[in-house]
Amino acid sequence: MATPHVAGAAALYLQRKPGASPAQVAAAITRSATAGVIKDAGLGSPNRLIFTAAFGDTTAPAISLTRPHQGAPVRGRVTVTASAQDDVEITKVVFFAGDTQLGSDSTAPYSIDWNTTASPDGQYSIVALAYDLAGNTASARVSVTVRNKRDDTPPRVSVAAVQGMMLQHNGELVPVTFRGTASDELSSIRIVSFTVRDEYGRVQPSGNAVVTDGRFSLTAYLEASRRGRDADGRQYMLTVKATDLEGNQASATALVIVAHDRGVAPR
């Protein structure tokens, strides 16, 4: 009775892959069969129970990388972990760092140990590729930065006001735009923080600015004033701070005078 079952399994497989050779059909049937579940199978028996659910399976698995996280700095030995599900069965998950295969795992939770010291410092795309019994595949990807060499170099940052002095009515809030650059040798700077202080040391607007392709722009609303020592208008200092993945910091400053309307021309 095994013969018609196996013949039916072969027909199912060939329906999906009509160009498969007899050897490929046999390998697929053997690969998908469940081993070691037949009692008293007899001496020399392969002890495999035919399993055909995967032969009509065209649904790809679902997979995600759970560790490390996107953009994470890594060093030393790192556990790379994936979560994978399938409507029939996952056979294995294969892990890559760039073009290098790190290893594979056939048991959930799917993970491998990555010795990052064998890879030069820099950015890597970590890929997890899931296979199901039918050969359907799905992949997940994150980018990480290998940082085994200690980074003691601070980032580079610069900033300047678009206009150095503006003539406005007394007490008016003036939008002042600052533009700058931020970069680092080993990692990308995605955000810079900023603080504005007036000439009396009082903190004015502060916050963060997004860095895109090494450049950022921010606008602060500053008061034009002619009170007290503000003979030519009020002076403000903007301080921008950039921090790299190792915690090294660098800062830059820009001055702007928001003048009152008492006949003072921009300079």
The model's pLDDT over 74-129, given as tens digits with 9 standing for 90+, comes to 999 999 999 999 988 899 999 999 999 999 999 999 999 999 998 888 899 999 99
pLDDT at 222 over 70: yes
On whether the pTM is more than 0.75, the answer is: no
As a whole number of angstroms, the distance between CA 251 and CA 247 comes to: 13
Nearest to 126 by CA among 78, 177, 164: 78
pLDDT digits (tens, 9 = 90+) for 52-77: 656 666 789 999 999 999 988 899 99
Measured distance CA(195)–CA(151) in Å, rounded: 26
**Residue among 27, 36, 253 nearest 161 (CA):** 253
Domains and their CATH numbers in the chain: 2-56 (no CATH), 62-146 (2.60.40.10), 156-259 (2.60.40.2550)
Please tell me the predicted confidence (pLDDT) of residue 36: 67
More confident residue, 150 or 154: 154
User: What are phi and psi for residue 160, nearest 5 degrees?
Assistant: -150, 150
Alpha carbon 66 to chain centroid, angstroms = 11
pLDDT of residue 20: 75
User: For the residues 182-195, what does the mean pLDDT come to?
Assistant: 89
Residue that wins the pLDDT comparison between 10 and 266: 10
Predicted confidence band at 261 (pLDDT cuts at 50, 70, 90)? Answer: low
25-29, 143-147, 153-157 — which is least confidently predicted? 25-29
Question: Which residue from 138, 120, 4, 123 is spatially nearest to 58, judged by alpha carbons?
Answer: 138
Q: Flag whether pLDDT at 227 surpasses 60.
A: no
Provide the residue type at 40 as one letter. Answer: D
- Mean pLDDT for the chain overall: 84
Q: What is the C-alpha to C-alpha distance for residues 30 and 46, in angstroms, rounded to an integer? A: 9
